[in-house]
Amino acid sequence: DGGITQSPKYLFRKEGQNVTLSCEQNLNHDAMYWYRQDPGQGLRLIYYSQIVNDFQKGDIAEGYSVSREKKESFPLTVTSAQKNPTAFYLCASSIGRGRLGYGYTFGSGTRLTVV
């Protein structure tokens, strides 16, 4: 079955450390997205990519970095510059730019806790 796989499900990080969250999809989707969710709130866009080797900042990109070297993969690095990284991180994909009317498929999320 096609879908999006995020790993790990839970992640603990010491202050000052960088950490990378994995996101892989086998849906042949062009576009991929990273969202952050804090308790009781909606999703906020961190970064998105419409095509391989290209990505754009979302609303809260500071302290995060991404790469898109392969269509299937869109890893997110939470750097030490992110002041409050403890949150639930969600990866999503969609068919892509110019294809209105198509929904997004989400992964099951990674819960990051800074200890």
Binding site for another protein (CB under 8 A): 4, 6, 31, 35, 40-45, 48, 50, 56, 58, 88, 90, 92, 94, 96-97, 100-101, 103-109, 111
- In whole angstroms, the minimum distance from the beta carbon of 71 to another protein comes to 17
Q: Closer to another protein at the Cβ: 43 or 52?
A: 43
Residues 86, 66: Cα–Cα separation, whole Å: 18
Q: Closer to another protein at the Cβ: 71 or 111?
A: 111
**Tokens of residue 40, six digits:** 């009781």
- In whole angstroms, the minimum distance from the beta carbon of 41 to another protein comes to 6
- In whole angstroms, the minimum distance from the beta carbon of 16 to another protein comes to 27
Residues 6+ apart with CB under 8 A from 108: 6, 9
**Tokens of residue 106, six digits:** 């989400």
Q: Closer to another protein at the Cβ: 45 or 80?
A: 45
Q: Closer to another protein at the Cβ: 30 or 80?
A: 30
Assign 3-state DSSP to the chain and report helix, strand, coil percentages, each to 5: 0, 50, 50
Residue 30 Rama label (left phi>0; alpha psi -120 to 50; beta): alpha
- In whole angstroms, the minimum distance from the beta carbon of 80 to another protein comes to 26
